[in-house]
Chain A
Amino acid sequence: MVEAILDVRGVSKRFAFNGESVTALTDANLRIEKGEFVCLIGPSGCGKSTLLRMVAGFESVSDGELLMWTKPVTGPGPDRGMVFQDYGLFPWLTVRKNIGFGPVARGRPAKEVRATEERFVEMVGLTRFADAFPHQLSGGMKQRVAIARVLANDAEVVLMDEPFGALDAMTRERLQAELLEIWAKQKLTVLFVTHAIEEAIVLADRVVVMSPGPGRIVADERIDLPRPRDPTSPEFNAMRRHLGGLLAGHH
């Protein structure tokens, strides 16, 4: 068996909330191999963000084990880059410096940092805006910066929590296409949260379907359609119906 880059084994998460224990996720099992593009879908409150944040190392697991390359995840680290829906850019840094933040933080030499900044500013098409500050950018541009800064940091796994949820439909489609291109070129492993079935089918190798009350994984479907995927094709529609059924709870 190929070794999994991420291995989630019987993971549960409970939060203490107003003195009570809330179960956000129960007994989740998920193996992801290097290079896979996996989407998590499900209605809100089913534990998608919780699972992603545990993989990122922002939250600890209550039960079970969460392994990356067979080692337990103990905290955040540059091998797992996160792209937030609200961008989380440093407003006091220019586009270039936001992208260079990780390499600087990890003490890379200045010359290398500059070259990395250049390379990734260009990769996400923001050369003209390299010296702009985040508040001067559109939402789509901000999210490009957020993606570029985790790539610039050599992240092996890219975790994305509804990254395009706040963008208009046209920008979203462009960014989906760009993301797929970068994913293929950089051989990334992507774990991508969305609540849009279409987005999941456009992007993913595998769609993991989750359900609330308490949050759990209910299905794990492979999408074998060739890319780029055509949302008007009958196969796409069949998959949409299939996943819609799983989400609605009749299996």
Chain B
Amino acid sequence: MLAVVFPLGALLAWFLSTLGSGFSLIPSPGEVGMALYDLAFGGVYDDAFSETLVTHALASMSRVFGGFALAAAVALPLGMMIGRVPLVRAILDPTLQLLRPVPVTAWLPLAMIVFGLGPRSAFFLVFLGAFYPVLINTVFGVRSVEPRLFEAAAMLGLSPSASFAKVVLPAALPSIFTGLRLGLGFAWVVIVVGEMTGVQTGLGAIIMEARQLSRTEIVICGMAVIGVLGFVSDKLVMLIGQRLLRWSPQHG
């Protein structure tokens, strides 16, 4: 209930501030709503933006989930090895730690040189954005298994080779899920930046294009849609997590 009061209040403030005066750099909620309808279903303005929402949203989502899936596919096994195999840790960890403080967006120019202007650069940025949260949390998870649990498993007759699957993985699952959630959140942050240069489709691309044409109401639509999609995908991961982590007092 309280969660609804604040946004409604903000909406009202927005509405009131756009009333009256001819000063109209910020579109009113009504205009944005109309633009969103046109963006989704067309039939209002019938311009270049009409009826394109699904295309753009799908393009962004495929990059977000594709880049995220690739990041997870690399970061999960890598993190497990860095966490549990001292040799791998000695070889890779210093380099990865050194590269970590470099903001993902700082990679954009280099990505454009390597991958060219276009969706591949955006995909790469998403990959990079999701990579580190997943990696770091996986390493942390597999490293911070309580030593007691290994003793318990050993005295119950579990062979050391089975302890990774039977002890390390389940014990690390809460951390791994935290990493996946953060990674997916980051992917949504980064996608907009990635799509702002030289990409034809995607929510970042329409925001950029609308900005150039001073169609601020479309910019706001793009922001809103990204917000909603990011929120829904986060809830989805959380739901899966809650199912798998019913045993954890922090998650269940």
Residues of A within 8 A of B (CB): 56-58, 75-78, 80-82, 84, 86, 88-94, 101-102, 105-106, 133-135, 149-150, 153
Q: Smallest Cβ distance from B71 to chain A, in angstroms?
A: 25
- Given contact pairs A84-B148, A90-B149, A78 touches B156 in the complex (Cβ within 8 A): yes
Q: CB within 8 Å of A: which of B158-209? A: 158-159, 162, 166-167, 170-171, 173
> What 10 pairs across the A-B complex have the smallest Cβ distances?
A78-B157, A102-B156, A76-B154, A105-B158, A88-B152, A133-B247, A92-B170, A88-B148, A106-B157, A135-B249
Say yes or no: B149 contacts A88, CB within 8 Å.
yes
CA distance A89 to B171 in the complex (A): 11
A contact patch SS: loop
Say if the beta carbon of B153 comes within 8 Å of chain A.
yes
Chain A residues with CB below 8 A from B3, complex form:
none
Candidates B156, B162, B252; contact of A81 at CB < 8 Å = B156
**Most chain A CB within a 10 A radius of its CB, from B154, B156, B252:** B156
Q: CB within 8 Å of A: which of B197-252? A: 246-249, 252
B171: nearest chain-A partner, CB-CB: A92
Say yes or no: B170 contacts A90, CB within 8 Å.
yes
Say yes or no: B170 contacts A81, CB within 8 Å.
no
- Given contact pairs A92-B171, A92-B173, A84 touches B152 in the complex (Cβ within 8 A): yes
Say yes or no: A77 contacts B155, CB within 8 Å.
yes
Q: 7 A–B contact pairs at CB < 8 A?
A: A77-B155, A78-B157, A93-B247, A101-B153, A133-B252, A149-B156, A153-B157
Say if the beta carbon of B31 comes within 8 Å of chain A.
no
What is the count of residue pairs linking A and B with beta-carbon distances less than 8 angstroms?
Answer: 72
Q: Smallest Cβ distance from B164 to chain A, in angstroms?
A: 13
CA distance A101 to B149 in the complex (A): 12
Say if the beta carbon of B93 comes within 8 Å of chain A.
no
Chain B residues with CB below 8 A from A88, complex form:
146, 148-149, 151-152
Q: Smallest Cβ distance from A84 to chain B, in angstroms?
A: 6
CA distance A238 to B171 in the complex (A): 49
CA distance A57 to B153 in the complex (A): 13
Say yes or no: B151 contacts A58, CB within 8 Å.
yes
A154: nearest chain-B partner, CB-CB: B157
Chain B residues with CB below 8 A from A135, complex form:
247-249
CA distance A153 to B153 in the complex (A): 12
Say yes or no: B151 contacts A82, CB within 8 Å.
yes
Chain B residues with CB below 8 A from A86, complex form:
148
Chain A residues with CB below 8 A from B248, complex form:
91-92, 135
Chain B residues with CB below 8 A from A82, complex form:
151-152, 155
Say yes or no: B157 contacts A105, CB within 8 Å.
yes
Q: Smallest Cβ distance from B87 to chain A, in angstroms?
A: 24
Say yes or no: A92 contacts B151, CB within 8 Å.
no
Chain A residues with CB below 8 A from B153, complex form:
90, 101, 105
Chain B residues with CB below 8 A from A78, complex form:
155-157
Say yes or no: A56 contacts B173, CB within 8 Å.
no
Say yes or no: B152 contacts A105, CB within 8 Å.
no
CA distance A101 to B249 in the complex (A): 21
17 further A-B pairs in the complex, CB-CB below 8 A; given A94-B247, A105-B153, A105-B159: A56-B155, A57-B154, A75-B154, A76-B151, A76-B155, A78-B157, A88-B146, A88-B151, A91-B247, A91-B248, A92-B173, A93-B247, A101-B156, A105-B157, A105-B158, A153-B156, A153-B157
CA distance A240 to B154 in the complex (A): 37
Q: Smallest Cβ distance from A110 to chain B, in angstroms?
A: 16
Q: Smallest Cβ distance from B192 to chain A, in angstroms?
A: 37
- Given contact pairs A58-B151, A82-B151, A86-B148, A77 touches B157 in the complex (Cβ within 8 A): yes
A159: nearest chain-B partner, CB-CB: B155
A97: nearest chain-B partner, CB-CB: B247
Q: Smallest Cβ distance from A113 to chain B, in angstroms?
A: 13
CA distance A75 to B159 in the complex (A): 11
Chain B residues with CB below 8 A from A57, complex form:
154-155
B162: nearest chain-A partner, CB-CB: A105
Q: Smallest Cβ distance from B159 to chain A, in angstroms?
A: 8
A53: nearest chain-B partner, CB-CB: B151
Q: Mark B113-156, 1 if CB is under 8 A from A, else 0.
A: 00000000000000000000000000000000010110111111
CA distance A149 to B146 in the complex (A): 19
